Amino acid sequence: MKNTRDMQAGTQPFHRETTVDSSAGGPVLITGGSGFIGTNLADRLLQCGRKVYLFDNLSRPGVEKNLQWLRTRHGNLLEVVISDTQDVQALSSVVKNVRQVFHCAAQVAVTTSVINPVHDFHVNARGTLNLLEAMRSVPDPPSIVYTSTNKVYGALDDLRLVANRSHYKPASTRIRADGISEMRPLDFHSPYGCSKGAADQYVLDYARTFSVPGVVFRMSCIYGPHQFGTEDQGWIAYFLLCALENKPITIYGDGKQVRDVLFVDDLVDALILAQKNMQSLSGEAFNMGGSPANSLSLLELLDLIEVIHGERPSVRFDGWRVGDQRYYVSDIGKFRQATGWTPRTGVREGVERLYNWLRTNHPSFSGNEKSYPGVEDYEILAR
């Protein structure tokens, strides 16, 4: 576990070089493409001249801002399909035009899944199956990278932990050094874990049974620009927004729970590399996150925000929530060995960049109260 000083010392200046060939591979479909991850991925691909089909129902608050930003930057290279993964006809219409699929569309919150498990199932499990069936109907199916979740491993209640003032850490020296590997047994926990886990397994089985090339990323905490965090999802962005708005933060549990965090630019590198290496990687699942080198607890994030913002957010505590993991850190060794990928953005640098982006771009702080277009202002290519 790194304290704030360690994070700062380990940070390197941000000069991202082109380490992956984003231009090869033909047209791309990104489901959930106006969401946080989809927007950053689409921008990278569009910058390299790739044709991108952005498939989204614009249901998440704030994503219309991301869509307008992409449209302004890239014009007609971006094709917008305003639809839902429950619409089989819309999926079939767009899938036949692309060579690669990045499946990011999802119901993203454990808490929402507990309130409405049926909706969660239809979006995450059935929506993914609809997409896979559309892909299977193409004579030469495109390849897919699916953004799954570490929640497929359950609450990790059997993981023996020790605690100090600020964080939990595993008693096992191996897990402390490397994190949780793909050898960990699956143990779907919460309706969200079940729906994402089912989709995870469908992608892997369609690669095996139907030769639909596919890779699964079981992701830890991703953060960065274009993220509109909420209390239920996107906790780093949410904590920063609360600090900027001078609002209290509710921490469920004791705040010592630990996650590894991955800056979105590093995730985009990994997503593109997975497609580039699809022939050798198809049918595999990879744990994807920042690794132990980029891990921190909720309390340690508050320490870092105090350094960056100059003031510590006020905090209140509540009980643990269903499916909460006291410790989850990704072992990224399998994907690193397969592709040479490794995260390059340190925690201090990444959090500070997100803080500055929110302060500059979020309407609440920047005075940038633009009128954003609604659904009717975009070309609807499929329904």
| pLDDT of the residue at 374 | 34
Domains in the chain with CATH codes: 4-17+25-377 (3.40.50.720)
| pLDDT of the residue at 214 | 98
| pLDDT of the residue at 20 | 54
Q: What is the pLDDT of residues 123-145, one digit of tens each?
A: 999 999 999 999 999 999 999 99
Nearest to 334 by CA among 155, 182, 124: 182
| pLDDT of the residue at 371 | 35
Active-site annotation, residues: 192
Q: Which residue positions in the chain have pLDDT lower than 50?
A: 1-19, 367-383
| pLDDT of the residue at 329 | 98
| pLDDT of the residue at 17 | 40
Nearest to 77 by CA among 35, 33, 37, 36: 33
Place of tokens 């639809």: 83
Nearest to 32 by CA among 96, 80, 99: 80
Question: What is the spatial distance between Cα 258 and Cα 296, in angstroms, rounded to a whole number?
Answer: 5
| pLDDT of the residue at 170 | 97
| pLDDT of the residue at 365 | 57
| pLDDT of the residue at 317 | 94
| pLDDT of the residue at 372 | 33
| pLDDT of the residue at 111 | 85
| pLDDT of the residue at 330 | 98
Left if phi > 0, otherwise alpha if psi is -120 to 50, otherwise beta: which for 304?
alpha
| pLDDT of the residue at 60 | 81
